[in-house]
Amino acid sequence: MAGPTGRGGSLGAALNDLLRAQVTPRHRLSSYTAKHWHAQISQLTSTQRGYQALEEAGLHVTTKTLINWLSDPEYNIRRSYRDLIHTAYENAAIAPAEPIPDQVKDGQFEISGTVRTGDDERERGTRRAAPLRIDGHRGNWDEIEELWQAGELTDTAFEDHFIDDIIVADIGEGTDGWEFPGASYSVELR
């Protein structure tokens, strides 16, 4: 039975496509669209998440001051307070990425596309050649997870770390390292 499959114009793009089909990446919440400081503070003070963001941004005011601000959109507040409110709002607007699940990290990856090591370059995952099979369980996912959680797991970074931390850990360095110079890849998770 076929498992989830990611596709892309590079190995990293296919890996990212596969991962994003499994878990939600770090993203901006669509409900956070307010521009004016009053609308932002109103939204922030309506949730525990918002209060936490205000505290983390360093905004410490009395309840009386907060009530004054909320009751009058024209209330004149210092620019430094507006900046802290905006910072808190931007921080609250970002939802963290879901963790990479164990079934991905422990999975078997079947890579189809052009694979090169040294002078050996071939198309994998065709009728003539099996896909490149990689055991994700043997790899070190720490760097990939760190970039994923930070929202910085680009296709290039994913490909580089997957080669260095997952492929090499499973099957070794290859003749002269691993390269994926093709223009189309699919990665199936089993």
The pLDDT score that the predictor gives to residue 30 is 93
Taking the C-alpha atoms of residue 186 and residue 73, their distance in angstroms, rounded to an integer, is 53
Q: Are 32 and 43 in contact (CB under 8 A)?
A: yes
pLDDT confidence of residue 1 = 56
Name the token pair of 55: 């505290």
CA distance 82 to 79: 5
What pTM was estimated for this model as a whole?
0.83
Which of the 8 DSSP states describes residue 28? Answer: E
Give the integer Cα–Cα distance in Å for 176 and 114: 16
Residues 6+ apart with CB under 8 A from 25: 19, 97, 98, 148, 151, 153
64 contacts: CB under 8 Å, gap ≥ 6: none
Nearest-CA neighbor of 18 among 115, 153, 182? Answer: 153
- Nearest C-alpha neighbor of 183 from the set 19, 7, 16: 7
Across 41-65, b (16+ Cβ under 10 Å) vs e yields bebbeeeeebeebbeebebeeeeee
Q: For the chain (length 190 residues), average pLDDT per consecutive 10?
A: 90 98 95 96 94 95 93 92 97 96 97 95 95 97 97 98 97 89 97
The reported pLDDT for the residue numbered 84 is 97
